[in-house]
Chain A
Amino acid sequence: MRFGPLVVTFLTGATLIAIFFIPHRAAQQTQSVILEWADVVYAFALLLGSISLWLAHQKKVQQRGEGWLYSAVTLTALAGVTFLGVTQGVGGDTIVGKIYDSVNAPLASTMFSLLAFFIASAAFRAFRARNVEATLLLVTAVVMMVGRVSIGEFIWKGFPPLTEWLLDVPNLAAKRAVAIGVGLGAISTALKIILGIDRSYLGRS
């Protein structure tokens, strides 16, 4: 049995919960120190992620697996941008800044923009009034799509108030219920881990 990790988890979890509710200076200073530890852990996680990315793509390039050329581009970009960033900085006037403006930003925006095309196609095929529930969803979606853009109030003055009602009443009620459920679920999961009931994070059930 892995007793050590369970004790560390219990002590860390219980201490952090206690500190959250204790306004005393000593408790807050302890929290500051733990936050600095967390910052170090995050930095190492970033390093670990980069190494893992490198190894995965390096293997693909070496074995000439499917799409290995894309992996080669990833490796070149990772090494090149890291080198340039470390040696020349990352501000707007640097090479990294220019790469960001001319490559990263347009590519990321383009990838996300493609969603509009796929959502339009999916809406055409999926929004069908097959039963009462689907019809309710369909009507609500149509009202929201028209009512939440400028042309909605141009078509009919009643659209904006109708969308406001949908957001303020049915949406709010559902979101509150979900939020309370998620909150209770998170407390339950955290307690199970802190008390050692759920040990799946140790690598076995």
Chain B
Amino acid sequence: MAATPNGIWQRILGIDRRWIFVLVGVGTVLPLLFPVNLPVTPSPRVQAAYDAIEAVPEGSIILMSIDYEPDIMAELQPMSIAVLRHCFRRNLKPVILTLYPAGPRLVEQALAVAGAAEGKKRYDDYVFLGYKSGNQAVILGLGENIRGLFPRDFYGVRTDSIAIMQKVNSFVDFPLLINLSGSSIADYYIRIGASRYHRPMILGSTAVMATDYYPYLSSRQILGLIGGMKGAAEYERLMGIVGDARRGMDAQSLVHVIVVILVVLGNVALFATGGLKRRVGGGA
């Protein structure tokens, strides 16, 4: 027996969520296997972040804090690689640290990729200080005595003996501060690094966090904002490279479209079955 139109809508409303999981899975995997390279246009916020790095004189030493763990690496790792490559191309010398215990390995991986792509070497072109516990206390300490806070770098070399580190010891010695973060650590850097020490700062965050930082962008406490995989893809576009962010945007686009279609279908089904009227009428 054929299903009535009402029956079809009822079935859509009661769809097993495992079918939704299958749709999302297919929507993620297919574009990764068969990329279509959808266009990416840089937003003003990402362009501003790019311009802030362009404005730093060549050879300058900058401070970079990479604060995330593997859970959000899909969004932030491509961003770290793109920003590091930009710094290296401009011959900037980043001093890098992380405030997350599981962060150092990700930083090492990003440095390996970006360093190899741009031909840069540890100690000559960058320093990795490693992990330090204490979040806000560490950031306050960065304004006082960095070599005291990190007597040795991640590989056990005394920071006093590293040429790059002999030229810097506080926030005020850096012409630019970059924070790529998936947590409220970004707030501490804005309050202390950007606001108290008046350092020009750019921020990279997860997409879900990015909207929290629009007020700081508007007040010029941060100069640029790179939000999520989309922001990373825009940065890669500005750099003229195709990295994991641009490759991932096809999948993200298709999954978003699937979710939107599901939402529209759900509402049409609710309307067609009279569920909307009942709920509104019944005060539900």
User: Are B267 and A145 interface neighbours, CB within 8 A?
Assistant: no
- Return A17 CB to nearest CB of chain B, in Å: 13
Asked if B137 CB lies within 8 Å of chain A CBs, one says: yes
Query: Interface readout for B201-238 with A: 1 if CB under 8 Å, 0 if not?
Result: 00000010001101100100000000000100100000
Q: Which of A28, A129, A176 has the most CB of B within 10 A?
A: A129
Q: How far apart sit A196 and B140, CA to CA, in the bound complex (Å)? A: 26
Query: Interface readout for B137-157 with A: 1 if CB under 8 Å, 0 if not?
Result: 110110011001000001100
Q: How far apart sit A117 and B19, CA to CA, in the bound complex (Å)? A: 10
Q: From known contacts A120-B258, A151-B254, infer whether A138 and B267 are also in contact, taking CB-CB under 8 Å.
A: yes
Asked if A190 CB lies within 8 Å of chain B CBs, one says: no
Q: How far apart sit A11 and B267, CA to CA, in the bound complex (Å)? A: 59
Q: How far apart sit A131 and B141, CA to CA, in the bound complex (Å)? A: 51
Asked if A205 CB lies within 8 Å of chain B CBs, one says: no
Q: How far apart sit A84 and B15, CA to CA, in the bound complex (Å)? A: 49
Q: How far apart sit A42 and B70, CA to CA, in the bound complex (Å)? A: 23
User: Count the A residues whose beta carbon is within 8 Å of the partner chain — how many?
Assistant: 58
Asked if B250 CB lies within 8 Å of chain A CBs, one says: yes
Query: Interface readout for B97-133 with A: 1 if CB under 8 Å, 0 if not?
Result: 0000010111011000000000000000000000011
Which one of A121, A130, A179 contacts B276 once the chains associate, using CB atoms below 8 Å?
A: A130
Q: How far apart sit A114 and B279, CA to CA, in the bound complex (Å)? A: 31
User: Are A167 and B211 interface neighbours, CB within 8 A?
Assistant: yes
Bin the interface of chain B by size. 35 or more
Contacts of A28 in B (CB 8 A): 144
- Return A145 CB to nearest CB of chain B, in Å: 5
Asked if A175 CB lies within 8 Å of chain B CBs, one says: yes
Asked if B72 CB lies within 8 Å of chain A CBs, one says: yes
Q: Which of B70, B108, B280 has the most CB of A within 10 A?
A: B70
User: Are A108 and B71 interface neighbours, CB within 8 A?
Assistant: yes
Q: How far apart sit A123 and B69, CA to CA, in the bound complex (Å)? A: 27
Closest B residue to A180 by beta carbon equals B215
Asked if B169 CB lies within 8 Å of chain A CBs, one says: no
Q: How far apart sit A62 and B258, CA to CA, in the bound complex (Å)? A: 48
Q: From known contacts A150-B39, A150-B249, infer whether A120 and B259 are also in contact, taking CB-CB under 8 Å.
A: yes
User: Are B279 and A172 interface neighbours, CB within 8 A?
Assistant: no
Give the segment of B21-29, B50-58, B79-87, B173-181 that binds chain A: B21-29
Asked if B20 CB lies within 8 Å of chain A CBs, one says: yes
Q: State the 7 A-B residue pairs at the shortest beta-carbon distance, nearest first.
A: A150-B38, A151-B253, A108-B70, A38-B137, A105-B70, A112-B71, A149-B253
Q: Which residues of A approach B to under 8 Å, CB–CB?
A: 28, 31-32, 35, 38-39, 42-43, 46, 90-92, 97, 100-101, 104-109, 111-113, 116-117, 119-121, 123-125, 127-131, 138, 141-142, 145-146, 148-154, 160, 164, 167-168, 171-172, 175-176, 179
